[in-house]
Structure 1
Amino acid sequence: MASPLAAADALTPAASGGGVRAGYGVSLTDLSGFQNALSRAQAGGVAELNPQAVAAPSESMQALFKPLERLNAEAVSLHEHAEAAMATGNDMTPGEMVMLTVRAQEFLFHSQLTANVANRASDGLQQLFRQQA
């Protein structure tokens, strides 16, 4: 079995004609596995590999990501507010600074709350699976 460094050396442009580069940690197993998968796909009559359509996310998955989307929208809103304050070129008034700080703290609170709920749900699921096992 060749070492990962030997595999990386084998794939340098000088050794392969200049077209392939491999990063640190690549192994011959990775390369042969990819080659075998590509060969199997081509042997099955597939001359060109095209992307496959995926099903739309279910309602439960959409509900799962809703808090994260809300956090993302809140972060975008906070960013736009800060950018608008910087774009005016004027110094922010103390009241504006306080309001921006309050909005940032509110965003932080919502982020921590969402992370806490996710961690509690994960702990509950792990406990359920342990009880089922």
Structure 2
Amino acid sequence: MSIEAIAAQAASPEMVGAKSFDIAPAMPQQVGPEATAQFENAMAAQQAQRVGGASDVPPAVKDLLGTLDKVNTEAKSVSDYARTAETSGGELTPGEIVNLTMRCQEFMFHCQLTSNIANRSSDGVQQLFRQQS
């Protein structure tokens, strides 16, 4: 599309007064209960479809997602421990600080290990594709 065509389109009567990013109809600012119900129904239908099609997921992907779920669970565990330690007396004792530090470092080790495995797996897949092409 030439620059003249773009300028002519911008000067067309339907574009006068419209912002360049305001081409789509405006979204409502407040969402009513019917929109919320529609969204929840759509989410439930998508979840049911995903659960029904879960057998199509390869085992490698299941293992990958399982590993990420373990890291997520460990992060929640560290967060929960920090909250309970903080709310127990308002100030952490030296033992709680050491324990929290140990849990944080263990969590970071698992994150780094997972990241390293993911990077090496990605490199291996890339090398495989390069060899096959």
If the length of structure 2 is used for normalisation, what is the TM-score?
0.62
Q: Which residue of 1 aligns with 2:71?
A: 71
SS, match of residue 123 in structure 1: helix
Q: Post-superposition shift, 1:66?
A: 1.1
**Structure 2 residue aligned with 1:45:** none
Determine the C-alpha separation between the residues in 1 that align with 2:61 and 2:21.
Answer: 41
Checking the alignment, whether the CA contact within 8 Å between 1:11 and 1:20 is kept in structure 2 is no
How does 1:46-65 map onto structure 2 within 5 Å? 53-54=49-50, 55-56=53-54, 57-65=57-65
**After TM superposition, where is structure 1 displaced by more than 3 Å over at least 4 residues in a row?**
57-60
Number of residue-to-residue matches in the alignment: 99
Q: Is 1:126 the counterpart of 2:126 in the alignment?
A: yes
Distance 1:125 1:58 in 2: 16
Does 1:9 pair with 2:19? yes
| % identity of equivalent residues | 44
Q: Which has the higher contact order (CA 8 A, sep 6+)?
A: 2
Give, in angstroms, the shift of residue 61 of structure 1.
Answer: 2.1
- C-alpha RMSD of matched pairs (Å): 2.8
Aligned residue identity for 2:122: S
CA positional deviation for 1:88: 1.8
Measure, in 1, the Cα distance between the counterparts of 2:92 and 2:20: 59
Q: Which runs of 5+ in 1 are unaligned?
A: 22-49
Alignment of 1:15-26 (within 5 A): 19-20=25-26
Q: Extract unaligned runs of 5+ from structure 2.
A: 28-41
Structure 1 counterpart of 2:125, one-letter code: L
In 1, distance between residues paired with 2:91 and 2:80?
17
What amino acid maps onto 2:19 in structure 1? D
Letter in 1 for 2:109: F
| Residue-by-residue CA offset, 1:74-118 (whole Å, 9 max, x unaligned) | 000000000111212332111110010010000001000000000
1:117 corresponding residue in structure 2: 117
Could you state the TM-score of these two structures normalised by the residue count of structure 1? 0.62
Answer 1 or 2: which has greater helix percent: 2
